[in-house]
Amino acid sequence: MIEAIRMAMKYKDLIPPAVDLITDMEKSISNDGKLSRKEQSRLMTKFHALIKQIKAQRKASSKAA
């Protein structure tokens, strides 16, 4: 539990974009459980933006250490 709290504090700037991505995923899935190509592309763009933010944060924290 403490580990989860530490991780949340460390990556607190990434929580809103991650929650936004999850919310968009829930909205994008149709009743049959499939995603259209357009929705897949949009979600992957958001996912890659989140990954880019994680890499930038890691790079900044490694410079500070």
| Confidence band for 65, pLDDT divided at 50, 70 and 90 | low
Residues 6+ apart with CB under 8 A from 30: 36
Asked if pLDDT for residue 19 goes beyond 90, the answer is: yes
- Report which of 57, 65, 52 is spatially closest to residue 21, judged by C-alpha positions: 52
Phi, psi of 31 (to 5 degrees): -60, -30
Mean pLDDT calculated for residue range 6-21: 89
Q: What is the pLDDT of residues 21-60, one digit of tens each?
A: 999 999 988 888 888 899 999 999 999 999 999 999 888 8
Asked if pLDDT for residue 63 goes beyond 90, the answer is: no
Question: What pLDDT sits at residue 8?
Answer: 84
